Amino acid sequence: MNIVVIGTGYVGLVSGVGFSELGNNVVCIDKDEKIIDNLNTGIIPIFEPSLEDLVHKNMKEGRLRFSKDLISEINNADIIFIAVGTPRGKEDGEADLSSVFSVAEELSKNIEKETIVAMKSTVPVGTMKIIEKIFKTKSNNKIIKTASVPEFLREGLAVNDFMQPSRVIVGSNYPEVHSTLYELHRPLIKSNKNLYFQTDTQTAELIKYASNAFLAVKISFINEISNLCEKIGANVEEVADGMGLDKRIGRWGLSTGPGYGGSCFPKDTLALIHTASQNESPLRIVEAAVSVNDSRKAFVFSKISEEFNNDLRNKNFGILGLTFKAGTDDLRDSPSMDLIPKLIEYGSNIRAYDPQGIDEARKKLEGPIVWCKDIYEASENVDAIIFMTEWSEFDSKNIDFNRIATLVKKKIIIDFRNMYKPYDITSLGFDYISLGRKVSRSID
Ligand code: UDX
């Protein structure tokens, strides 16, 4: 099939490349000239494992192109996917749909043949209805058929999630659109027809938001259980493992941490709450998840502060991990980006290291920060090392803690991802502070 994908962010680029890998002819469009110029020379705008290889392969095999010129491409397409950004709007968490609507206007004026327009961006419930109205009133002869095809990929695992989806949700009110989109996704769902879930556009839109909100609730839930564990002396990792054994619950989402971040959970929970309140149907559980996640930031800070008797003046901290999770260079709503300015405000100095996020972080943060090339440089003369992101580079098998012990000023490790076994750290002479587990003092 001939496919046009509008928007080369995470969702658009991964989907476009993925559809070309399945054998379709794909053109990815973006109005940002620099992004398109770079993509045309094989440089991709995001860090995403194995994506670059797939871009090169499919460009070379002639199935994947990049262009700035939307209008000259759309009338060759069987399906057009809209995958432009829907960032958090100014007020009340309402999503900013200006890019989505401006693309819809442009399509409605320029599409001249029967085409399917499918929404991949995460848009609030009811958005496709508005877009259908734009198409019906403005396009020449009502030839555009719409669908909502939300994307569930995770950053860092995006290619894998695209190629092996947990489900393909397609909302459309046109039976013929379902047959075409089923055909397009058939190589992904292989023999399991149940993975293709057919519904109407409003329901598809809500499935996306409700899924993200549910996962955010799960994370905030374990973070509160983690706090309780600290009070009663239980071990949150074992609580999560024990709960996760129940298949109805599952282990994913039960890893306590510094709070969820990224491009989806923070934005989508707020947008869903906004939709709910507009419809006078409050989602109190989601509201609680957001408020628990907000308070996580203060909790992380106070845990560090308490360790230093609430005096952080002239303390040096090695911050390991800047991105909102491992496997990505994305800093959006990352707990580190909240913590570092606060530590600086209270008089501390920072040595920061991240395997992927340094370049972006350098542009966003200022103050007494030394940007380091590795974990050892970030450990020099610090009062504590603080782990914020669970990079595999930080696995105990990949770190020489004995070397770190010779570099630091004070042997304190604060681990907001529970990456280590307490004894492994305390036996090397460090104090070890983690989440939802007892503070373990050095056994030196
Ligand atoms: C998420 C959804 O998983 C994906 O389906 C959707 O399409 C986009 O949003 P992503 O934002 O890439 O994907 O990251 P994810 O791996 O889900 O993690 C989100 C946040 O939750 C991260 O900050 C992560 O550290 C945190 N998290 C996740 C936890 O704190 N504990 C967990 O157990 C899992």
Task: Verify that 168 and 216 share a domain, yes or no.
Answer: no
* 439 assigned to some structural domain: no
- Kindly state the percentage of the chain with pLDDT values over 90: 90
Q: Indicate the pTM of the whole model.
A: 0.94
Within-domain flag for 53: yes
- Give the pLDDT mean for 56-70: 96
Report the CATH number at residue 306. 3.40.50.720
* pLDDT tens-digit readout, 221-270: 999 999 999 999 999 999 999 999 999 999 999 999 999 999 999 999 99
- Domain boundary among the residues 275, 291, 307 is at 291
d(CA 328, ligand 1 centre) in Å: 11
Q: Which residues fall within 8 angstroms of residue 312, CB to CB, at 6 or more apart?
A: 304, 305, 343, 346, 347, 348
Nearest Cα residue to atom 21 of ligand 1 = 260
Average pLDDT over residues 318-338: 96
Tell me the pLDDT band of 138, cut-offs 50, 70 and 90: low
Q: Are residues 355 and 262 in the same domain?
A: no
Residues 296 and 286 in one domain: no
Dihedral sign from CA coordinates of 12, 35, 97, 217: positive
Based on the fold, state whether residues 184 and 110 are members of the same structural domain: yes
* Same domain for 152 and 96: yes
Position 443 in a domain: no
Q: What is the CATH number of the domain that holds 240?
A: 1.10.1040.10
In a domain, 219, yes or no: yes
Would you state the pLDDT for residue 95?
Answer: 83
> 257 CB under 6 A from ligand 1?
yes
Ligand 1 atom 26, closest CA: 260
Are residues 285 and 302 both part of a single domain? Answer: no
The verdict on residue 403 lying in a domain is: yes
| Model pLDDT for residues 31-51, shown as the tens digit of each residue | 999 999 999 998 999 889 899
Catalytic residue numbers, as ranges: 264
Q: Quote the domain boundaries for residue 325.
A: 292-433
In this structure, is residue 440 part of a structural domain? Answer: no
Q: How far is ligand 1, taken at its centre, from the CA of residue 155, in Å? A: 8
Q: Report pLDDT for 392.
A: 96
Q: What is the pLDDT of residues 395-427, one digit of tens each?
A: 999 999 999 999 999 999 999 999 999 999 999
What is the distance in A from the centroid of ligand 1 to the CA of 297? 17
Residue minimizing CA distance to atom 6 of ligand 1: 152
Ligand 1 centre to CA of 347 (Å) is 32
Decide: 219 in ligand 1 pocket, CB within 6 A: yes
263 and 334 both lie in a single domain? no
Whether residue 36 lies inside any domain: the answer is yes
Q: How many domains does the chain have?
A: 3
List, edge to edge, every strand of the sheet that includes 369-371: 369-371, 349-353, 316-320, 384-387, 412-415, 431-433
The answer to the question of residue 442 being in a domain is no
Instruction: Kindly indicate the confidence band of residue 143, based on its pLDDT and cuts at 50, 70 and 90.
Output: confident
Tell me what the mean pLDDT of segment 316-320 comes to: 98
Average pLDDT, the chain: 95
Q: Which of 268, 291, 314 is the last residue of a domain?
A: 291
- Do 100 and 158 lie in a common domain? yes
Q: Please indicate, yes or no, whether residues 286 and 304 belong to a single structural domain of this protein.
A: no
68 and 43 within one domain:
yes
Could you tell me if 399 and 309 lie in one domain? yes
| Boundary of a domain, candidates 198, 233, 266 | 198
| Together in a domain, 285 and 305 | no
